[in-house]
Structure 1
Amino acid sequence: MTETTNQLQTTPSQTVGPFFAIGLPWEDGWLVVPESTPGAFRVEGRVLDGNGDPIPDAIVETWQADPDGRFDHPDDPRGAVPRKDFRGFGRSATDVEGRYGVLTVKPGPLPTGDGGWEAPHLNVSVFCRGMLIRLVTRIYFPDEEANAHDPVLNSIDDPAARNTLIAASAPFGYHFDICLQGEHETVFFDV
């Protein structure tokens, strides 16, 4: 008869995905507007982990108002406004270097419930392996005076953290890296 020893063993780690290539990306997902749209520009960047390494299998979604600050959506309290050749939604898978990008136009400001205004911005969701829920953030534009009065930006006390939401101007439009953790972690919101 042999004696058995009960030893505790670590449960193997498990992550979610990567399942994104099955249904989330689509060919023209990165086009919020057609490529021939006047005033269109690209927003590009990288999705990085806590060590600054690229995440090659993430999905970045953007959702935004049109240039007049309106949505073609029933939740727009002023009423849905369809706009020809404007989808308002983009989806980009990252490549092996963690790069993503969308082609869009600058959104207009949005009214707040108290009579104020939110500065023009893109709403962003990030999906990737190991995360059971999406991360939600925003991209603001560096050349907007309205940023100084935006209630969401002003709700962030730390100026360095606030700056993680402001894109940098680039020859193609704007550059915006999304850092999931670490010293330069992008501000994410509970929604």
Structure 2
Amino acid sequence: SDMQAEAQDAARRLSHGNWDAILIADTGSNATTLAAYLAVENVWARAITSEPRSDRKYVVYLGNSFWHDPQFLNEGPDYLSGAVFPTWLGVVESSPSAARFSDAFERVFDRRPGLAGSFAFDALATLQYLMLDSGIRTRSGIRDALSELDGLEGVTGQVSFGADGTSQQTPMLMTISDGGFAPFPQQ
């Protein structure tokens, strides 16, 4: 296919460089395809915590939040082991309240929550906190309270907003380890 030919050509060109890291800004499935072609060219994923073999060229693969999809982990050998990518949903796997949300969502919809469902839940939970728990009843009161909100725990992480109303959330860094996802170790 065209995608495979492009991946093969890109791998051939990338294999001639002396890279520390390669950003693959695509889906996890396409990243796996490119990483497989790079392995054919003797460029391998380097897990931050493992010792490399001397006969291989190693890079750290960097991805995007589309990689946080368990489906692509089953698409072949572990070519992306050690890759690092940001996600908004990493908290779902580490926070008890987020795990409860994820389990309840799956019972109702027969699938794990995605970004839209998770952010919608956080938005409604934030409004519930402001309106029901804090008693705020006006739009201007909600606006003012949002700008002062600092670190309300949500399923996508800490919920807070700047004075201009911009979300101040920071994504969690994840890595691919032992065929699954794990929080990236903080240095």
TM-score range, shorter chain: under 0.3
TM-score by length of 1: 0.23
TM-score by length of 2: 0.23
Q: Which has the higher helix share?
A: 2
Structure showing greater relative contact order (alpha-carbon pairs closer than 8 Å, 6 or more residues apart):
1
